Amino acid sequence: MGFLIFVAAMIAKKTFNIEAIREDFPILHTSVNGRPLVYFDNGATSQKPKQVIEAIDNYYESENSNVHRGVHHLSQLATNKYEDARRTIQQYINAEHSEEIIFTKGTTDGLNMLAFSIGQTLEVGDEIIITEMEHHSNIVPWQMLCERSGCKLRVAPINSKGELKLDAFCSLLSDRTKVVSVTHISNTLGTINPIEEIIEASHRYGAVVIIDGAQSIQHMKIDVQTLDCDFYLFSGHKVFGPTGIGIVYGKKKIMEVLTPYQGGGDMIETVSFEKTTYNVLPYRFEAGTPNIAGAIALSRAIEYLNTLPLDEIEKYEKELQEYAQNELCKIDDVRIIGKASNKTSVVSFIVDGIHPFDIGTLLDKQGIAVRTGHHCTQPLMKIYGIPGTIRISLAFYNTKEEVDILINALKRSLQMLR
């Protein structure tokens, strides 16, 4: 049924009506400290449309059962919904096979899974390339792997605008490069990396390419076959779905030869005290009872997105980001961190002489939610020589009027802090 909803949604798209869209998100109509909520923390987690909330309620009220192998009605119903969700996500990112879609807890969980499973194939002296703008989740698992295996972690530099130095990246590639793992969009800078060129260059050396899509899946259409990436990962809660669910897309021919990350139920074919044989894809990477409600609700989020004109939304979000950045630049002592020519969704800034936490606290008093700190990119903060930033991260339900509210609130805050 979920797959049929997906197809119907593709046929009957809504026009981009910001007022109608905002009506789909109940939390946007709440107040904070007596002020209407202005939610600019979408990079940390996005808000959920009522369709997603209803899907979670409906599962636990009417469909709750464990999936796979159950012969009773509820188990078969839950299994069908769970596997429909897999197919919905397959179609959304244009994966070739539904078994290439692995359910995880989120992007962090997926990166740890890949670092372990791919790591089993690596040897001393093999190299892994990341970039200076990576989230900790795309740094620490590879460091842990290198400590275990004797592999070497190479880091591609960025320029002062927050753009990847592509020539420098390419110079790191060699026959020793086995894994390239890069973010599609920086969660701190908003930089959109040239992943098409990265993938093509890396494949010339036979490297496996992993794309961290945690900040891109919600802002642009993704076609994994066109990209030709080997893996693409994202988190449900950042694409208007629930927390605790995520996706690893992996090419079937690669996934079939990798060692499973975890052992337990559902990932096995046969078990004896002498030997265990593993299940087929995708189940060999889904040990234990999965987040069934999360998978179903994530598919509803994807179905919701498919009712919207995604091309218009991408253009709108770009205009909104540029508007916010331009208005911030008019305020004395504001410095934008990350001025890539190709960026979206995120505006990070600091105010000279004032700690980001103090600004964030005063904005909250005025009903505005922003994120302050290092955003799980401490190495990036070190490059810029700052402790952290104030980060505005946008979604399609945000408006220019909300940006204006932020600008006025920031000016009031600075008058109090100076």
Q: Which residues are catalytic?
A: 376
Calculate Rg over the CA atoms of the chain: 22
Residue 308: Cβ within 10 Å count? 18
Query: Tokens representing 347?
Result: 């505006």
d(C-alpha 107, C-alpha 115), whole Å: 12
List C-alpha distances in Å: 119 to 113, 141, 157, 172: 9, 10, 24, 20
Helix, strand or coil, per DSSP, at residue 36 = strand
Structure tokens at 173: 């590639």
211 phi and psi angles, rounded to 5 deg = -110, 120
Alpha-carbon span 156 to 33, nearest angstrom: 44
Q: What is the DSSP string of 368-405?
A: EE-EEE-TT-HHHHHHHT-S-EEEEE--TT--HHHHHH
CA distance 41 to 235: 15
Q: Which amino acid is at 349?
A: F
The number of angstroms, rounded, from the C-alpha of 200 to the middle of its chain's C-alpha atoms is 22
Closest to 150 measured CA to CA, from 176, 175, 189:
176
Long-range Cβ pairs for the range 250-258 (8 Å, 24+):
250/100, 250/102, 250/114, 251/100, 252/96, 252/97, 252/99, 252/100, 252/281, 254/208, 254/230, 255/100, 255/102, 255/281, 255/282, 255/285, 256/281, 258/117, 258/118, 258/120, 258/121
Q: What does the alpha-carbon distance between residue 44 and residue 137 come to, in Å, rounded to a whole number?
A: 14
Enclosing H/E stretch for 131: strand 127-131
- Specify the DSSP class assigned to residue 155: E
